[in-house]
Each structure stands twice: as structure tokens, then as C-alpha cells.
Structure 1
Amino acid sequence: MTRAKSSRGKATIPAIKPAFMSPPTDNNGAAVLTDPNTINAYKSLYDALGNAYWKATDIDTKDTIQAARDNIYEILTDLNVAKLEENTEQFSALKQKIDDSNTTLSGIKDKIDDITKDLSTAASVVAAIAKVASITSVLS
């Protein structure tokens, strides 16, 4: 331990080392977006939507799923590139993409029975959407 010298030079006192402090988080939920669980949830959702795309029965449904999947891909890219550490401007831009994507995903979740008859696919898509919605709910 480093010791600090007194001004008189006779006695030494222990130097005080500041305690580690976590970086502050804002009230907009930026900490949620830097959490690896968030990225993993989006990756799982992206994969589940990819599976649903191949199981979908018509082109309009496939287009809807692929559009949502493209949005998720953009979100993943932005999360990975920007890392959002104390970058309010990038976070604000990404938040709008997340809000738009969540609206689309809500529609897919509501129509999952029409999208695919494969129960396993439907369940995995609904679960992945629910997880992402739960994580990002603090952003609203």
C-alpha cells in the first residue's frame, strides 16, 4: 500500500485509494442496451424469425418476417458497432429503430398462427419476441 507523507515528514498515513464505481446510467435504459443478454436476445430473435421465414406459407408473410428480420439485423449491427457507451446521439437513433421494430414484431406475434402452422417455430418466435419486448420495455 502506498503511504502518503505528512507535511511534517515524521509520520505516514495510508493513501486513500478511491473505490471502484460503476459508470452512471441514464434513465433512458442505455445500460440495458450494453448488456450482453440484450444482444443475445436479439440474436435469438433474429434466428427464430429466420426459421419462421422458411416455414411461412405465403410470400406476403415472408416479406413481413424478412422486414422485421432486417430491422433486427440493423439493431444488432448498431449495438455491436456503436457499443452505446455514453453516446446519447447514437442511442437516440437506435431507440427509434427499436420502437419501430417492436411495433412490427407485435404484429407478427399477434398473427403467428397465420404465419406458420409449425408449433415449435411459432413458440420460438413468440418467446424470442417476448424476451426482446421485455428487455426493451424500459426504453419506452
Structure 2
Amino acid sequence: MKTKIKGVILIVLVTCSSYVFAQDVVTETGDTLRISSTGVISDLSNNTIGEVLSNGDIKDANGVRIGSIEGNNFKDLNNMVLGSINTTTGEVFDVNETKIGEVINGVTIKDISGNIIGIASSYINEKWLAAYYFFYFNN
């Protein structure tokens, strides 16, 4: 009996520890994408759009590095700052430090006019949401 219980517990632990959660983000155009708990960005057909790695690298659908997040800055391949995020307020700035939008509670993305340009089903890392718009939106 103890052996069966240990087996069941092992299966539950393996299943829970290997499960990846994903949150849906609906854009202003009505498109839906998913950002997983591991940073993979995909469409509803599970086609990978890109990935945000734990070291800050940003990759495209082919796994090619297209930029990075360093601290609160978003940088291109030439290490030039594209913009930044204030993680305390959620405000997003362009290269000239002009506010271009904000991420609210890791769920809502607004442009400078206050228009909602993306809304997530639940909390997503603010930097990942901002990175999506710096590196993938309109590309």
C-alpha cells in the first residue's frame, strides 16, 4: 500500500512541477497571444512568436537573439536602448525618456493616450508585456 501511495505522490509531483502556465493577452486588434510562465510567446495555434529568457535575452520565432532586457532597459542587438520601464509605476518610456504608455498591475497595457492596447487574463511580468510591444508588435 505504501508503495502505491508513493507512486501516486511521485506522479502528482512530476506532473505539477513540469506544468507550464500560460496567460492570454488580447491586443487592441483582437488578436490573442499567450505568454507562458517560462517566457515563451505564442499565438493561439501554439506557433512560437518569440521568447523572453531568464537571462534577459529576447529571441524571435527562430530562436535568434533580437534584443535584451537589461535591468529596466530594452536594448537592440547593437546594445542601443530602445526604451525602458519604471517597474514601480509601470510607466514605459522610449529612447528619449518620453512616456509612451504604461503597464498596469501586470495585466493592462495602455498607450500614451490611455487607450488599452493589450489586456492579459491574469498577471504577467511587466517587463515581458512591455518587451512584447518593443520587439514583436507590428513586426
Q: Same fold (TM over 0.5)?
A: no
Q: Highest CA radius of gyration, 1 or 2? A: 1
Q: More helix by proportion, 1 or 2? A: 1
Q: More strand by proportion, 1 or 2? A: 2
TM-score by length of 1: 0.29
TM-score by length of 2: 0.29
- Higher RCO (Cα < 8 Å, 6 or more apart): 1
